[in-house]
């Protein structure tokens, strides 16, 4: 008899050796999950009256529900003697998401946000929300969505009933006594007659908030009145103070500060003071933006005064600038366009470098900008879109030796970003950045420092240190560069994004011509999008195709916080 008792005791120990207690007589049989204290009350009860004892069937139902919320749909809960053993079974994951009957254009973006995650209600809700947002971005804000999922096949089916496309025929704006309604419209990324696009409505709200006119803006839409959108606004105090910090190995640290009165009249005209401090540049600017006409809210006049000090390795300058712009901007389809022109007077003092010690000159500038809405929409985490900027400047003045200095400078630069494969979230971002500048002047030695051209550093060719490609510190008449970069957003954990790139550059001693030498720099880097800004670091090798220029091949390391490609 004692031998039989011993055998039963050993068998019992073996049976429950790997069990993990949940509470009371509930045990996990094998693998376990972490249950909260509140969940355990629903299974085993508590000391409170009415919860002291939970019937087995009720506890089993609650426990199955808790496991299903963690994607365990094949659990087995059974009584073994005086214990309740819980086998959680296989966890189900989302292997694929299939969209049924999507409208044209929906599949231009490939969804993969919840693929590979647990088959839970919260992840199914995420799929539904993404589907709704995607439909609203292509003109279907009144769609119907039904989701079905199988924990056996681990497939999710999303049935889409798009209903009809919606075009905007009316924008109703909330009335605010302090502002003319027309002043809101200058920030519109979407206009009457355009296809409904929730992304562009969000961009419109973000623009008006950043302008300082209001503290909050959002749009509402009712499917009973499909063509009408309503803009809601929350007014703030007109005075706005913004502080920002950044850093890089080229400029450390960086401090930006601004004070702005965004409502000096009912048209939303503004008065602003800007401060920039770093190891390279110290500047302060005071400007006023006057929106001249109530019914032409995007036409503006912007006079400004600016003082700046720049300390580079090859020169030091101090400049006082007085100028102004007459400008106009507008949105059409998927792009924002801006144009402005105006004169300025500059008093430039050179304390170190090859430029004249003192120069005074008058400039006339013409600027043209083209920015896609999605480039602006994703500005804080670049992934898509393009930007193109054109500048033409004519200057004329004298230097400290009473010699005339005049010239014309042409600049064209742009950025193109491609979400390779059109995934959401993206797998790889392919980026192209280019810059071309050329100076037409008779004597480069008389040219003010402001218009001299150099290369080297994170803004152009990253394998060379800042402005080390400088023609013996004199500068060039023509420079150009092309940067090609690929960034991998889902390759590493914890939001780390490795990147690889190669930069090319050309220089010329004459206007609109290049020398027979190519500078290039392959490199690698890492980006991390933190909750409070982006960090980037790169390591690149600066190389040249021949020895025509007195430039040393070198390695260059760069680190920055708050700057992007």
337-353: per-residue pLDDT in tens? 999 999 999 999 998 89
More confident position, 361 or 400: 361
The radius of gyration computed from the CA coordinates of the chain, to the nearest angstrom, equals 32
CA distances from 560 to 254, 275, 485, 538 (A): 10, 20, 17, 9
In this prediction, what percent of the chain has a pLDDT beyond 90? 81
Taking residues 436-457, report their average pLDDT.
95
pLDDT tens digit sequence for 496-510: 999 999 999 999 999
φ/ψ of residue 197, rounded to 5: -145, 105
Q: Vertex 374, ends 456 and 97: CA angle to 5°?
A: 115
Taking the model in full, what pTM does it have? 0.90
**In this model, does residue 360 exceed pLDDT 80?**
yes
Q: How far apart are CA 534 and CA 472, in angstroms?
A: 35
Residue 50 is predicted with a pLDDT of 67
Confidence of residue 254 (pLDDT cuts 50, 70, 90): very high
pLDDT tens digit sequence for 417-430: 999 999 999 999 99
**In this model, does residue 1 exceed pLDDT 60?**
no
Q: What is the end-to-end Cα distance of the chain in Å, rounded?
A: 81
Confidence of residue 298 (pLDDT cuts 50, 70, 90): very high
Neighbours of 352 (CB within 10 A): 14
Average pLDDT of every residue of the chain: 92
Q: Which of 398, 394, 374, 396 is nearest to 384 (CA)?
A: 374
Taking residues 433-457, report their average pLDDT.
95
**In this model, does residue 242 exceed pLDDT 60?**
yes
pLDDT tens digit sequence for 188-197: 999 999 999 9
Q: How far apart are CA 41 and CA 47, in angstroms?
A: 9
**In this model, does residue 513 exceed pLDDT 90?**
yes
Contacts of 9 (CB under 8 A, 6+ apart): none
Q: Which of 379, 387, 369 is nearest to 328 (CA)?
A: 369
Residue 238 is predicted with a pLDDT of 86
Q: Is there a contact between 347 and 307 (Cβ–Cβ < 8 Å)?
A: no
Helix (H, G, I), strand (E, B) or coil at 319: strand
CA distances from 178 to 181, 215, 271, 406 (A): 10, 14, 16, 47
Confidence of residue 3 (pLDDT cuts 50, 70, 90): very low
Residue 16 is predicted with a pLDDT of 45
Torsion of CA 540, 541, 544, 549, to 10 degrees: 90
CA distances from 350 to 89, 278, 319 (A): 76, 19, 9
Residue 19 is predicted with a pLDDT of 56
User: What is the 3-state secondary structure of 520-548?
Assistant: EEEEEEEEEEECCEEEEEEEEEEEECCCC
Q: How far apart are CA 379 and CA 564, in angstroms?
A: 9
More confident position, 48 or 335: 335
Residue 47 is predicted with a pLDDT of 79
Taking residues 350-362, report their average pLDDT.
93
Q: How many helices (H) and strands (E) does the chain have?
A: 7, 28
Q: Is there a contact between 372 and 383 (Cβ–Cβ < 8 Å)?
A: no
User: What is the 3-state secondary structure of 342-407?
Assistant: EEEEEEEEEEECCCCCEEEEEEEEEEEEEEEHHHHHCCCCCCCEEEEEEEEEEEEEEECCCCEEEE
- DSSP-derived secondary structure for 444-477: GGGS-GGG-B-B-STTS-TTS-TT-BSTTTT-BS
DSSP structural state of residue 225 = G
């Amino acid at each position: 008899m004692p031998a039989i008792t011993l055998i039963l005791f050993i068998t019992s120990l073996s049976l429950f050796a790997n069990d993990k207690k949940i509470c009371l007589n509930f045990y996990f049989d094998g693998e376990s999950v972490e249950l909260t204290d509140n969940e355990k009350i629903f299974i085993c009860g508590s000391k409170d009256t009415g919860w002291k004892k939970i019937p087995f069937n009720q506890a089993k139902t609650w426990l199955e529900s808790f496991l299903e919320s963690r994607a365990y749909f094949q659990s087995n809960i059974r009584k073994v003697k005086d214990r309740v053993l819980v086998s959680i079974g296989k966890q189900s994951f989302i292997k694929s998401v299939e969209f049924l009957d999507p409208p044209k254009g929906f599949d231009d973006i490939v969804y993969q946000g919840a693929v590979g995650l647990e088959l839970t209600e919260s992840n199914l809700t995420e799929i539904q929300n993404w589907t709704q947002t995607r439909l609203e971005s292509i003109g279907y804000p009144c769609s119907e969505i039904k989701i079905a999922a199988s924990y056996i096949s681990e497939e999710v089916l999303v049935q889409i009933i798009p209903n009809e496309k919606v075009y905007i025929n009316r924008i109703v704006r909330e009335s605010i006594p302090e502002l003319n309604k027309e002043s809101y419209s200058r920030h519109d990324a979407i206009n009457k007659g355009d296809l409904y696009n929730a992304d562009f409505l969000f961009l419109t709200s973000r623009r008006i908030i950043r302008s300082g006119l209001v503290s909050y803006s959002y749009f509402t839409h009712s499917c009973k009145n499909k063509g009408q959108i309503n803009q809601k606004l929350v007014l703030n105090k007109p005075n706005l103070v913004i502080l920002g910090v950044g850093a890089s190995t080229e400029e450390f640290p960086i401090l930006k500060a601004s004070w702005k009165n965004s409502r000096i009249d009912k048209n939303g005209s503004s008065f602003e003071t800007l401060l920039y401090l770093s190891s390279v540049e110290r500047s302060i600017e005071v400007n006023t933006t006057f929106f001249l006409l109530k019914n032409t809210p995007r036409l503006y006049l912007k006079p400004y005064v600016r003082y700046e000090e720049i300390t580079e390795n090859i020169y030091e300058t101090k400049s006082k600038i007085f100028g102004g712009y007459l400008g106009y901007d507008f949105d059409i389809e998927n792009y924002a366009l801006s144009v402005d022109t105006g004169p300025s007077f500059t008093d430039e003092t050179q304390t170190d470098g090859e430029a004249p010690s003192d120069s005074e000159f008058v400039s006339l500038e013409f600027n043209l900008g083209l920015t896609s809405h999605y480039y602006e929409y994703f500005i804080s985490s670049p992934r898509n879109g393009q930007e193109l900027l054109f500048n033409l400047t004519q200057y004329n003045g004298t230097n400290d030796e009473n010699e005339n200095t005049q010239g014309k400078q042409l600049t064209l630069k742009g950025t193109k970003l491609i979400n390779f494969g059109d995934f959401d979230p993206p797998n790889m971002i392919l980026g192209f950045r280019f810059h071309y500048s050329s100076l037409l002047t008779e004597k480069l030695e008389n040219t003010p420092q402001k218009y001299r051209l150099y290369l080297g550093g994170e803004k152009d060719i990253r394998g060379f240190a800042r402005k080390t490609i400088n023609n013996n510190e004199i500068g060039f008449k023509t420079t150009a560069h092309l940067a090609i970069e690929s960034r991998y957003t889902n390759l590493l954990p914890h939001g780390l994004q490795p990147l690889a790139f190669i930069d090319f550059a050309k220089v010329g001693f004459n206007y609109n011509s290049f020398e027979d030498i190519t500078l290039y720099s392959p490199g690698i880097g890492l980006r991390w999008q933190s909750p409070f800004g982006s960090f980037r670091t790169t390591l690149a090798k600066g190389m040249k195709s021949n020895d025509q220029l007195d430039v040393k091949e070198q390695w260059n390391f760069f680190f920055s916080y708050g700057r992007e490609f």
